[in-house]
Structure 1
Amino acid sequence: MASSSRLLSEEQFQCSICLDVFTEPVSTPCGHNFCKVCISGYWDTTDLCQCPMCKRTFYTRPELKTNTAFRDVVDHFKMIRIRDTDEIRDTDESPAEAGEVSCDVCTGTRLKALKSCLECLTSFCETHLQPHQRVTGLKRHKLIDPVENLEDRMCKKHDRLLELFCRTDQTCVCQFCIETDHKTHHAVPLEEECGERKVQLGKMERQIRQMIQERLEKVQEVKHSVELNKRDAEREIADSLQVFSDLMDSIQKSQAEFIEVVEEKQKAAENRADGLIKQLKQEMTELQKRSTELEQHSHTEDHLLLLQTFPSLCTPKHTKDWSEVSVHSDMCLGGLRRAVSELEQTLQEELERAVKRLCDVELKTIQQWSAHVTLDPDTAHPFLILSRDRKQVRYGGTRQKLPDNAKKFYNPERFLNHLSVLGKDSFSSGRFYYEVQVKGKAEWLLGVARESINRKHDINMSPFDGLWTVYMRGEDIYEAYTSPPVPLSLREKPQKVGVFVDYEGGLVSFYNVKARAHIYSFIGCTFTEKLHPYFNTCDNELGPNLAPFVICPVNHTD
């Protein structure tokens, strides 16, 4: 709509210093108008008292008085502009809501700010921002997205805009700060510092995204581990049910067989007793008849008949001697004991089959953690000979010519007191498994060692000194090197030994790979540093012992 304020030019009422409509306008002796505060502040910052417009110099500072007539005209212009602005605002704009920056110029209902000016330290709505988009001097002001507390962007000491950054003190400063307190410091424009900070933020953001991605992958890894553990648990439960079911079947079968034998013996005893009772009854019948005859003849009056029959009456009929006859079973002679003994043997055989079956399943499971193991020549005792591929080591009998110099010979990594060598790779988490051929050796020591193990002096070869090993000597002497050592009883002499470590689980286990049998396990271990595969070839004290340790590839189909 037509506006009366548009008949007047806004530039006619604009201070050339603040580039805004005059406030308390004053006139200089040369005839130019300025805001009273603007011209006073301008002269306070300069040594010469000049007019900012024509550069006329005044040798004495003029006494400034408000141009009341011009002030009334300016106030009238402001009222007209505010009225026009309110009319436009009522039709085109909406008030600022909670959390939004409001216009600092609006009176009454304050509209949402569109921009904030760092020169004016004021936030403007769309209508009040128009002078900054139209007036030449205002166009040079720096506009940013609306922000609150613009006064915080002013230097508290010099009341100037914070437009520089002191890298020495890591703080925002104004131009006057650089010329005074921060004169010798390294300062750059805020834009330059922000650019570098944004680069750093971008790098940090990428790092955080990478960390998030790593944690997402770890979450999936943990979920996968839980799923694997669940399947392992289900498999172990199924295997245990099968083992105990087989054992129960054996017990029930032995019980049924024992009951059947007892019942058969009882039946046989009953049949024999029935036969004896029948015979006894027959003899009792015959004896009863004889007793009747004897009684009759003892009372007869016929003397001749008595004398004639007496010889036959005195001749006894054949009867059995029952004094040694008895009826019993042999249950009291150890029948139950023999049955239990046979059951024990059956269960032992069944348990051995079950253990071998479970050990086979266990080995197939842990072989999935097979690790690539090679020998570290820098740790090998001088009497040991390593193959070129670092997969074999044997006792050489004499000091070998080492490829390194004397200083390297005495390095802290090399064993000097034990015929030992470590695996090149170390493990500080998770699980790992490797297999070593020990065939043909008369004596050996095998397992894992912590990285800080003493390599120059004699040690107890126990977990206390950082070793978890199994020892073999002769044909049938096996020991787990605890403190004191634990003797082991093996049914078969190992040709290939498997070593499994669960770092977090605190477990070190040994297996006879060919026999699919468990040898020994260190449980409840606490690992606090890196672990290395450990090999001790031993010497020829117990006989020829030149056969090598051979690190073998794991055959998952065994």
Structure 2
Amino acid sequence: MAAASNLLSEDQFLCSVCQDVFNDPVSTPCGHNFCQKCITEHWNVSDRCQCPMCQEVFTTRPDLRVNTLFSEMVSQFRQSTQQKARSSSSEQQESRPGEVPCDVCTGTKLKALKSCLVCLVSYCETHLEGHLTASRLKRHQLMDPVENLEDRMCLKHDKPLELFCRTDQTCVCMLCSVLDHKMHNVVPLKEEYEEKKVELEKTEAEIQEMIQKRLLKIQEVEHNVKLSEEDANRKKAEGVRVFTGLKESVERKLDEFINTIEEKQRTTKKQAEDAIREMEQEISDLMKRSTEVEKLSLSEDHLHLLQSVQSLNIHHLPPTKDWSQVSVPPASYEGTMVRAVAQLEETLSKKMKTLVEVELKRVQKFAVDVTLDPETAHPGLILSDDGKQVHHSDVRKNLPNNPERFINDYCVLAKQSFSSGRFYFEVQVKGKTDWDLGVTRESINRKGSFTWGFHEIITLRHQKGYWNIQMRNGKEYKALDDPSVLLSLKSGPQKVGVFVDYEEGLVSFYDVEAAALIYSYTGRSFKEKLFPFIYPGHNHGGKNSSPLIISPVNQTG
């Protein structure tokens, strides 16, 4: 009997319904064998009774009987398989916690090598052999071992989930596709798997790209923090050096001031002491003469008195000074402190000039090429062909009223805009009596209200997104902050530098030739694009006809 079972191929011991080794095999009238449970369940869900192998139809359900001989052969095949499994178990690895065990192994469970998506069983190397050799089992879909294969069965029809419904975005079995999802777009799992895999790979690539961008951004931020730290340390060291020097200058000037006061006091005191000493000496001499005269006046000897008077020459007193013309007034300290502070101010001004020169050289490194935009210019302005100069004209041009153009305010913006970082540009204002310049945000009102007066328009600039300074009447300088700040300048600038640090919220103006800071707007919050902004002022009959000129930056440091 054992020899007979060995003559049969292994796939002949597999049920064509469950594709596994026969369990309680029974024979149909047509001579085919099936697991008793498999054929019974198949006929229970089928509309008619027929053989799954040859499709022979039976008018009545046959009385199934166990094929004794074949059942014995299956039993011997099982024993042979188990012996092979036991003999090879020592060579195979036992399943460990977290690993998928073989569902067929009895006793010691070996580590599953593959899971079958058709059988819904996980197999070790020995029990997988049938799927690698049997022709019918070779068609089964194998995958790396997974647990809970029952989750891959349709809960409603107890069939493998082999299809994917794209309409409902869910996995379905064959019966689902012809019943609940009949009119839906249903495709094999593999087809949807391939598409989803491509999508996942694309998503993964996008995610990796996003990760790389953020890693690079982290490196950039960390690098910037490091640069900021280094710059902060340099600035602190520079600040300590500068303020220590200023402190020493103040202390030195204070010492000089105190020494001046004390020297004056010492001189006054010495003059007083010398005068007192001289007067005390005169008093001593006069008192001595007074004693002699008093003593002589008490004498009753006529001859002695007369002779003594002659010898004493009492009519001639000891030599003395006319003290009525001598004065030792208190020392005057008026102006001493003012002069000391003025000298200190001069010292500080020199140090300030040096600091501004260094700062100006530093910000000039952020110079940008600025060109005026004719599309924004008021019709009463004349721009040079290169877009570097602008002045007011008494003749208003007929230009289209495009959204970018100023109508009520004689202004023009640059073509360039900035929404981050730092930038710097210079404007020559030489020969002008009226002008405004600075930066403005993109959303400012360029049309204005025709009910506004000219001065009202200019005054309201600081409330409308402008950060600028202005000159009026050739002498009055003002920063249009809130409130406006009247600027006290020693001399009118010939060239003005404008520096903006977007993130810091800083706008600073410099007198380039004098290397002096004119004014700074600080602590602002910029949320829009910023444009360089220029107002050349009215012509005023030729008094203000000189153009404002955007000058190339001469970086001298």
TM-score range, shorter chain: 0.7 to 0.9
Q: Could you tell which deviates more after superposition, 32-41 or 124-133?
A: 32-41
CA distance in structure 1 between the aligned counterparts of 2:26 and 2:187, rounded to whole angstroms: 38
Q: Which amino acid aligns with 1:60?
A: T
For the residues of structure 2 that align with 1:429 and 1:105, how far apart are their CA atoms?
68
Matching residue of 1:439: 430
Aligned 8 A contact 1:442 1:543 in 2: no
Q: Contact between 2:11 and 2:135, CA under 8 Å: does it hold in 1? A: no
What is the TM-score when the length of structure 2 is the normalising length?
0.87
Q: For 1:547 and 1:72, how far apart are their aligned partners in 2? A: 117
* Identity score, percent: 52
Choose which of 369, 394, 404 in structure 2 pairs with 1:413.
404
- After TM superposition, the score normalised by the length of structure 1 is 0.87
In the other structure, the counterpart of 1:377 is 374
Task: Please show how residues 329-408 of structure 1 align to structure 2 within 5 Å.
Answer: 330-331=330-331, 333=332, 335=333, 337-400=334-397, 402=399
When residues 550 and 304 of structure 1 are mapped into structure 2, their CA distance, relative to the original with a 3 A threshold, is: closer
| 1:262 to partner: Cα distance | 4.8
Q: Aligned-pair distance for 1:54? A: 4.1
Q: Give the aligned residue type for 2:247.
A: M
303-312 or 42-51: which moved more?
42-51
Q: Which moved more, 1:170-179 or 1:237-246?
A: 237-246
Offset at 1:270? Answer: 5.9
> Which moves more between the two structures, 278-287 or 420-429?
278-287
Once residues 292 and 545 of structure 1 are traced to their aligned partners in structure 2, the CA distance between those partners, rounded to angstroms, is: 92
Within 5 Å, give how 1:204-223 maps onto structure 2: 204-223=203-222
Q: How many Å separate the matches in 1 of 2:444 and 2:270?
A: 79
Aligned to 2:467: 468
CA distance in 2, matches of 1:545, 1:262: 52
When residues 503 and 101 of structure 1 are mapped into structure 2, their CA distance, relative to the original with a 3 A threshold, is same
Q: Secondary structure at the match of 1:92?
A: coil
Of 423, 437, 444, the residue aligned with 2:414 is 423
SS in 2 for 1:104: coil
Q: What is the alpha-carbon distance in structure 1 between the residues aligned to residue 328 and residue 235 of structure 2?
A: 49
Query: 2:434–2:474: 8 Å Cα contact kept in structure 1?
Result: no
Shift of 1:32: 2.1
Distance 1:296 1:263 in 2: 48
Cα distance change, pair 328–281 in 1 and its aligned pair in 2 (3 A)? closer
RMSD across aligned positions (CA): 3.2
Closer, same or farther: CA 346–79 of 1 in aligned 2, 3 Å: same
Segment of structure 1 superposing worse, 103-112 or 31-40: 31-40
SS in 1 for 2:224: helix
Q: Per-residue displacement from partner, 1:40-68 (whole Å, max 9, x unpaired)?
A: 34445655544344444433331223335
Structure 2: tracts of 5 or more residues without a match: 450-456
Whether 1:488 aligns to 2:487 is yes
Indicate yes or no: 2:522 matched with 1:519: no
Secondary structure of the corresponding residue to residue 340 of structure 2: helix
Q: 2:453 aligns to what?
A: none
Q: CA deviation at 1:263?
A: 5.1
After superposition, give the CA deviation of every residue in 1:345-391 in whole Å (9 maximum; x if it has no partner): 01211222222222222222333333343333332222233334333
C-alpha separation in 2, matches of 1:134 and 1:535: 87
Specify whether residues 177 and 366 from structure 1 end up closer, same or farther in structure 2 by C-alpha distance, changes over 3 A only. Answer: farther
| More displaced stretch, 250-259 vs 362-371 | 250-259
The 1:60–1:85 alpha-carbon spacing in structure 2 relative to 1, beyond 3 Å, is same
CA contact (8 A) 1:269 1:327 kept: no
Q: Aligned ranges for residues 116-195 of structure 1 at < 5 Å?
A: 116-195=115-194
Runs of 4+ in 1 over 6 A off after TM superposition: 2-5
Q: Which residue does the alignment assign to 2:226?
A: 227
Query: Quick one: distance in 2 between partners of 1:283 and 1:338?
Result: 38
Cα-to-partner distance string for 1:176-197 (whole Å, 9 max, x where unaligned): 3332333333333323323232
- 1:138 CA drift (Å): 0.7
Contact 1:3–1:84 (Cα < 8 Å) also in 2: no
Q: CA deviation at 1:268?
A: 4.7
Which sections of structure 1, spanning at least 5 residues, go unmatched?
Answer: 403-408
Structure 2 SS opposite 1:355 = helix
Q: Which moved more, 1:255-264 or 1:445-454?
A: 255-264
- 1:3 and 1:343 map into 2 onto residues whose CA distance is 126
Determine helix, strand or coil for the equivalent of 1:311: helix
Q: Which moved more, 1:279-288 or 1:382-391?
A: 279-288
